Amino acid sequence: MTCIELNEISFSYIAGRKGIFSNLSLKLNPNEQIAIVGRNGSGKTTLAKLIIGMLKPSKGQISFDGKLIEKKSIAEIAENVGYVFQNPNIMLFTNSVENELSLSLQRFNFTKDEKEEKVNSMLDFFGMTKYRKVHPRLLSRGEKQKLALATVLIQDPGAIILDEPFSGIDIAQKIIIRNYIQKLKDQKKLVIIITHDLDSVLEESNRVIALSAGKIVFDGEKTDFFKDSTNLRKAGLTETYMLNMLYSLHAEGLPETILKRNELINFFSKRISDT
Ligand SMILES: Nc1ncnc2c1ncn2[C@@H]1O[C@H](COP(=O)(O)OP(=O)(O)OP(=O)(O)O)[C@@H](O)[C@H]1O
Ligand SMILES: [Mg+2]
């Protein structure tokens, strides 16, 4: 389990220019399910790359469990936080799906049998056993996304950042990914999902951080974020079909805490059976 802390960090892609982040502070705690939302270019991916040490802040510090990340080795960082890139292509290097997964286990001292068991169970969970000998480049967008995710999950990091895990993914694959996210939550891991998909935020998260041009315009409970459309506007986001329906129902008296599909179904099922 990992606690991530950013202390007054500033960052610019072009040295000396006004950057995307200025004095940004954040604390991300174990057992939180965080959604980072915001328009294109608001800084979500940059924030993730700073957290994993791929980019260095020009000012301020980032620490995991109180230890500065610059004092950590690459292996230690990977142990603390796994990052699944927005573009899965840049995560895949080998000539087969199974090699991709074994490569992720290279730095561990597992026996050959243990490694094989871990690879097999990942392939099985993601329904990819039939692709084990296939070249990753030949996979579909959704399969690549799942493989990229599996290469990080197989390392069992304390916290995980998923950058747009649902983009280009059909419902069936989305359910598989969601099931794994649920497993991580059950293990009380810090799960950070960067997404444009507000419906998945309704389902997956309990804390929402909204970015707009590198500024945090909202950080708090999901129920507060979605209370009305004010926070969406601040983040430059628009209501989805599901949100519009929820807002109409909230106006008619549905409790505002009801935001998930299952909660909605349970509420109305009870009403129907009571009448
Ligand atoms: N390598 C880079 N060099 C210079 N500017 C960059 C670089 N990468 C990103 N930027 C700029 O930094 C800002 C934040 O980009 P970032 O990729 O973090 O946004 P994002 O919120 O992840 O967007 P999206 O939703 O499109 O993925 C944008 O203005 C972007 O153009
Ligand atoms: Mg991005």
Q: What is the DSSP string of 73-141?
A: -HHHHHHHEEEE-SSGGGG--SSSHHHHHHHHTTTS---HHHHHHHHHHHHHHTT-GGGTTS-GGGS-H
Beta pairing partners, 112: none
Q: Mind listing the pLDDT tens digit for each residue in 76-111?
A: 888 899 999 988 888 888 999 999 999 999 988 899
- Ligand 2 centre to CA of 272 (Å) is 43
Q: Answer for the pair 212, 233: CB distance below 8 angstroms, yes or no.
A: no
Sign of the Cα torsion 134, 135, 139, 142 reads positive
Segments of the chain assigned to CATH 3.40.50.300: 4-225
Q: How far is the CA of 161 from the centre of ligand 1 (A)?
A: 17
Measured from the Cα of 86, ligand 1's closest atom is 27
Ion ligand 2: residues, Cβ under 5 Å: 44-45, 86
**194-236: pLDDT as tens digits:** 998 899 999 889 999 999 999 999 999 999 999 988 999 999 9
What are 237-261's pLDDT values in tens digits? 999 999 999 999 999 999 999 999 9
118 has pLDDT over 90: yes
20, 22, 164, 195, best to mutate for ligand 1 pocket (most atoms within 8 Å of CB):
20
Residue 34 has pLDDT above 90, yes or no: yes
Q: In the chain, what percentage of residues exceed pLDDT 90? A: 69
Whole-angstrom distance, CA of residue 76 vs CA of residue 194 = 23
Cα distance between residue 81 and residue 92, in whole Å: 18
Instruction: State whether the beta carbon of 38 lies less than 6 angstroms from ligand 1.
Output: yes
Instruction: Write down the pLDDT at residue 174.
Output: 86
Structure tokens at 172: 């069936």
Q: What is the pTM for the complete model shown?
A: 0.93
Using CA positions, which residue lies closest to atom 27 of ligand 1? 40
Report whether 171 contacts 229 (CB < 8 A): no
Per-residue model confidence as pLDDT tens digits over 170-194: 888 888 888 888 888 888 899 999 9
Does domain 4-225 fall under CATH 3.40.50.300? My reply is: yes
255 Cα–ligand 2 center, Å: 33
- According to the model, what pLDDT value does residue 90 have? 82
